[in-house]
């Protein structure tokens, strides 16, 4: 039973007789350790703060946006940043800050939802492959290898063209692409974990595979999962912005940072702020996610384990 405590932590367990209480304490101390290490990493903390702030803004946008989303002022037109419009207005006289806030809702939503889809598929698939092992595992991972070799960017474009550009499809298409790495990571984790005594104990207690995966394997592999999730979100957001920039992603009247950047690029000669502010929002978010991901990797001591 003692090996539970040692899975993510190299410190010897001082008192392993009082099983339940010690275990609970040890379990939290892994996360406490990680948090202490993360707190020392200023860039990661900065990233976390930016992300929390942006997420809060995105959630509260309908109530805190300075102007209405569809509120135009054609007489005003495009104006540089001013006291009334902190980030200026676009060619229809719409408040840029409001647009960026609403665009951020979509960009962040795509990032989180598509990553969640990838997470769900990848973790389930990888855990099953790793747990069952043998030929099933070989066949399942072979499929992942084949899918890895497919040029997905082109496939997503194809999907968007064939089935129309809608948000739900975008979530699914991106999620379907990004689960592969997650599956590989989860599988290697599970393969390592299932040799351990606590899994054996669970098996001998008569727990089914689903329960073992859910209650024992996934919680113990949480570190790598969290790290790679954090690093997947920027990739997903980039993909959405890339598609929207080409006109193949989010469609008006909805907007996203990628779409705002694309409009901004068209008129940047006269109205550079229309490019710079949405670009800043996206770049800052991507930065934050990358820094946080790197920081978490160090804090949770996750080595890059791809196979």
Partner 1 sequence: MLRFILLRLLQAIPVILVVITVTFFLVRAAPGGPFDSDKAVMPEVKAALEAQYRLDLPMSQQYFAYLGDLAKGDFGPSFKYPGRDVNELISAGLPVTAELGAYALLVALILGGLAGIMAALKPNTAQDYIPMSFAMVGICMPTFLLGPLLVLVFGIYLEWLPVAGWGDIPGDKILPSLTLGAAYAAYIARLGRAGMLEVMSQDYIRTARAKGLPEWQIVVKHALRGGMIPVVAFLGPAFAGLLAGSFVVETIFQIPGLGRFYVQAAFNRDYTMILGTTVFLSTLIILFNLLADILAAWMNPRLRAQLGESK
Residues in contact with partner 1 by CB under 8 A are 146, 149-151, 153-155, 157-163, 234, 238, 241-242, 245-248, 258, 261-262, 264-265, 268-269, 272, 275-276, 279, 282-283, 286-287, 290
For partner 1, give the closer residue by CB, 120 or 158.
Answer: 158
For partner 1, give the closer residue by CB, 147 or 222.
Answer: 147
Kindly state the smallest distance separating residue 141's Cβ from partner 1, in Å.
Answer: 14
- Output the furthest CA–CA distance in the chain (Å, rounded): 77
For partner 1, give the closer residue by CB, 100 or 199.
Answer: 100
For partner 1, give the closer residue by CB, 27 or 279.
Answer: 279
Kindly state the smallest distance separating residue 232's Cβ from partner 1, in Å.
Answer: 14
| Residue 117 near residue 179 (C-beta atoms within 8 A) | yes
Kindly state the smallest distance separating residue 219's Cβ from partner 1, in Å.
Answer: 31
Give every CB contact of residue 126 below 8 A, 6+ residues apart in sequence. 182, 183, 184, 185, 186, 187, 189, 190
For partner 1, give the closer residue by CB, 99 or 241.
Answer: 241
Kindly state the smallest distance separating residue 5's Cβ from partner 1, in Å.
Answer: 32
Work out whether the CA dihedral 244, 249, 250, 251 comes out positive or negative. Answer: positive
Q: Where are the alpha helices (DSSP H) in the chain?
A: 3-6, 19-40, 42-64, 96-132, 134-149, 152-163, 167-193, 197-204, 209-212, 218-220, 222-245, 257-266, 273-299
Q: Cα separation of 69 and 135, whole Å? A: 55
Q: Cα separation of 223 and 31, whole Å? A: 9
Burial class (CB in 10 A: 0-12, 13-18, 19+), 2: middle
Instruction: Locate 108 and state its tokens.
Output: 């962040």
Kindly state the smallest distance separating residue 213's Cβ from partner 1, in Å.
Answer: 29
For partner 1, give the closer residue by CB, 220 or 290.
Answer: 290
Kindly state the smallest distance separating residue 190's Cβ from partner 1, in Å.
Answer: 25
């Amino acid at each position: 039973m003692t090996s539970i405590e040692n899975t993510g932590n190299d410190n010897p367990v001082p008192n392993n007789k009082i099983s339940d209480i010690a275990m609970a304490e040890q379990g939290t101390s892994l996360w406490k350790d990680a948090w202490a290490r993360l707190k020392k990493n200023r860039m990661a903390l900065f990233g976390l703060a930016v992300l929390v702030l942006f997420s809060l803004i995105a959630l509260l946008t309908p109530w805190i946006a300075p102007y209405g989303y569809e509120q135009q002022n054609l007489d005003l037109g495009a104006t540089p940043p001013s006291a009334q419009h902190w980030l200026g207005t676009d060619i229809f006289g719409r408040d840029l800050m409001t647009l960026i806030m609403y665009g951020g809702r979509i960009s962040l939503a795509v990032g989180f939802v598509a990553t969640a889809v990838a997470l769900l598929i990848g973790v389930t698939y990888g855990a099953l492959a790793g747990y069952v092992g043998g030929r099933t595992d070989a066949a399942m991972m072979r499929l992942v290898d084949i899918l890895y070799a497919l040029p997905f960017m082109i496939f997503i474009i194809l999907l968007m063209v064939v089935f129309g550009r809608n948000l739900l499809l975008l979530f699914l298409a991106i999620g379907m692409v990004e689960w592969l790495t997650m599956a590989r990571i989860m599988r290697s984790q599970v393969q390592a974990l299932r040799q351990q005594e606590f899994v054996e104990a669970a098996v001998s207690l008569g727990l089914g595979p689903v329960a073992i995966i859910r209650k024992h394997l996934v919680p113990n592999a949480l570190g790598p999962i969290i790290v790679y999730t954090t690093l997947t979100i920027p990739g997903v957001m980039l993909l959405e912005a890339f598609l929207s920039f080409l006109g193949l992603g989010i469609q008006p009247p909805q907007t996203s940072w990628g779409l705002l950047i694309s409009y901004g690029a068209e008129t940047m000669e006269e109205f550079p702020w229309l490019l710079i502010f949405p670009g800043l929002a996206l770049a800052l978010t991507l930065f934050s996610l990358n820094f946080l991901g790197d920081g978490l990797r160090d804090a949770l001591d996750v080595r890059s384990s791809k196979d």
